[in-house]
Amino acid sequence: MTASHYEYDVLVVGAGHAGTEAALAASRLGARCCLLTTNLDTVGQMSCNPAIGGVAKGQIVREVDALGGIMGQAIDATGIQFRLLNRRKGPAMHSPRAQADKKAYQQFVKWQVEQQENLDLRQEAVDDLLTENQNGRTRIVGVSVAGGARYHARAVLLTTGTFLRALMHTGETKTEGGRAGEGTTRGISGALERLGFRTARFKTGTPPRLNGRTIDFAATELQPGDEDPQAFSFLTERLEVEQLPCFIAHTNEKVHELIRENLHRAPMYSGQIAGSGPRYCPSIEDKVVRFADKDRHQLFLEPEGRSTHEIYVNGISTSLPRDVQDRMFRLIPGLERAQIMRYGYAVEYDFCPPEQLRPTLETQQVDGLYFAGQINGTTGYEEAAAQGLLAGANAALRLKNAEPLLLSREQSYIGVLIDDLVTCGVDEPYRMFTSRAEYRLLLRQDNADRRLTPLAASCGLVGSDRAERVIAKETAIEQVKLTLATERKDGAPLEKSLRRAGTSWADVAREHPSLERVPEEIARQVEYDVKYAPYVERQSVEVERQQRLAAKGIPDNFDYQSIGPLRHEAKEKLSLLRPASLAQAGRISGITPADLALLLVHLEGRKA
């Protein structure tokens, strides 16, 4: 090693939610890893909302935890308010969400990175990618950083967030940077385009932050946390936390009129921003235009920590000029005297359309190069963490010549996320919803450890202690199920009684004294397993059909042009996306059953 040359197995560029999970996963699998970031003070930082989880996102966090990731432990340790969303709906819709102490969360993550074996953390600005040609293929061999130093590695993961050629907009004012107070990264975008990658532009926004001392909370609606806060990590036995309240305010017609009068000064409407933004998380300008019939919109006032008065105003993301933001709040009940501590802004940035990826998140264009997080056109801390964990694990597994970690749609929300990205691509920043998962009865947040921890243990992502915990849990569940199947009430098994609509676990437990001693976690799993068994069985039939299709693997170098009768559009899409299986090919937009039939015939070596 010289002063300007460093050797590692894996390099991770970017230390947000994707980068930290990627580096930790690769390191746990034994790879010598280096995590490079332009600012050590922002490792694991929450750039926008100080919250983790939410509808479908909470399921992802539980899955990340089941696979050995740290996001669940981080929010359990630093959360200031916990809520289980959709409690009145079925368990497949239950989604945990928590407000975080923003600084404490970031410090927790940084500390985990700093103490991880096989992992070095460096403050460096990467300005180029180093590649070479091997047997006709382009392969990544490292990166160069500002100042001329070079880091060499057999795998490189880009988790650059919103920093690629990033531009921030507040009204007519434009500032280079991917986050307030920080700069942009230009060299990486140029390097990617030089290597033949397609890039495009997306935008995202963030709302203003207010000084809580200047808010009249008496004029708002109180939103407390749950009385029985639910943990995210399966390692957290019990949450003992003093919760802070959130509050709800509302816009009104006067606010909407002010916004309409100033739309010509909003970057998205003036043409100043060309990139697409997320439909599901629109700016307040978008809400006023798209939902013109609504006379008010909810605003959630969320504290950013225990040691700050800063309040995040969820629901009013905006890039309107500063003077309009000032006037806007003076028209909102409870916020008339509120002082803005940070003004809202929009960020426009480069991303790489994710059809250029393999299901392992390795790029098709360059061997050993992986993408995770917003560079893939996604948004959200949770989606980023999931991609980072998978990319980091697969990079390390590839270096060991081990089988990759591939999650299917019936196994996890993470599997749905990855498959959606590499198969369908994106036309707006992607976020997860429960509606995207066709097997969501199987993919509940409460059973993520039963689904994924054995798989994580088999490839080395978690230790034997976690695997043994799940084995013990499964044994206890089966013992209780046996009791329900053998013990009877009025001649019928207790299992049948539990399956009746309106019958709870407590009702059945009263009929058999030993059931009252069953731990709550085990009882909940048994109740869900028994009540939803008929529905799960029906979904399992469809899962088996999809697995048969998935078993028909497609070679990576398969020549679709050789299938004469195949439609030109199908040849183009299949050649571009390179599906790994017949099942994945069938999910590509525009691919018909007739196309699949032709493909199957050729895969089996028969004549049409």
For 469-500, how does the pLDDT look when each residue is reduced to its tens digit (9 = 90+)?
999 999 999 999 999 988 888 788 888 888 88
Regarding whether 277 and 221 lie in a shared domain, the answer is yes
Q: Which residue has the tokens 């990033």?
A: 166
User: Number of folded domains in the chain?
Assistant: 3
Regarding whether 340 and 248 lie in a shared domain, the answer is yes
pLDDT digits 0-9 by tens, 546-590: 777 777 788 888 889 888 888 888 888 888 888 888 888 888 877
Does residue 134 sit within a domain?
no
Beta-sheet strand order (sheet of 95-100)? 51-53, 95-100, 79-85
Does residue 588 sit within a domain?
yes
Average per-residue pLDDT for the chain: 91
Does residue 392 sit within a domain?
no
Regarding whether 525 and 573 lie in a shared domain, the answer is no
Regarding whether 231 and 307 lie in a shared domain, the answer is yes
What is the amino acid identity at position 81? Q
Decide: 375 and 351 in contact? Cβ < 8 Å: yes
CB-based contacts of 465: which residues, under 8 Å, 6+ apart?
Answer: none
Does residue 312 sit within a domain?
yes
Regarding whether 591 and 496 lie in a shared domain, the answer is no
Name the 3-class secondary structure at 29.
Answer: coil
Regarding whether 532 and 556 lie in a shared domain, the answer is no
> Which residue among 313, 345, 377 closes a domain?
345
Does residue 51 sit within a domain?
no
The model's pTM is 0.90
Regarding whether 282 and 247 lie in a shared domain, the answer is yes
Give the distance from CA 447 to its chain's centroid.
18
- The residue ranges of the chain whose pLDDT is under 70 are 1-3, 274-275, 278-280, 606-608
- Alpha-carbon distances, residue 495 vs 188, 484, 532 (angstroms): 59, 5, 12
Does residue 230 sit within a domain?
yes
> Which residue among 319, 345, 371 closes a domain?
345
Q: What domain range includes position 571?
A: 551-603
Q: What is the pLDDT of residue 553?
A: 84
Decide: 313 and 169 in contact? Cβ < 8 Å: no
Does residue 287 sit within a domain?
yes
Helical segments of 29-127, H only: 57-66, 71-78, 102-115
Q: Which residue has the tokens 């922002």?
A: 42
CA atoms within a 13 Å half-sphere pointing along the CA-CB vector of 295: 1
Give the distance from CA 473 to its chain's centroid.
27
> Which residue among 330, 345, 360 closes a domain?
345
Regarding whether 575 and 520 lie in a shared domain, the answer is no
Regarding whether 559 and 587 lie in a shared domain, the answer is yes
Burial class (CB in 10 A: 0-12, 13-18, 19+), 178: buried
Does residue 504 sit within a domain?
yes
Q: What is the pLDDT of residue 3?
A: 52
CB-based contacts of 128: which residues, under 8 Å, 6+ apart?
Answer: 143, 144, 187, 188, 191
How many Å is the Cα radius of gyration of the chain? 25
Regarding whether 509 and 585 lie in a shared domain, the answer is no
Regarding whether 293 and 229 lie in a shared domain, the answer is yes
Regarding whether 530 and 555 lie in a shared domain, the answer is no
CATH code, 336 = 2.40.30.260
Decide: 340 and 324 in contact? Cβ < 8 Å: no
Name the 3-class secondary structure at 405.
Answer: coil
Give 172-175 contacts, CB < 8 A, sequence gap 24+: 172/265, 172/267, 172/270, 172/272, 172/321, 173/321, 174/272
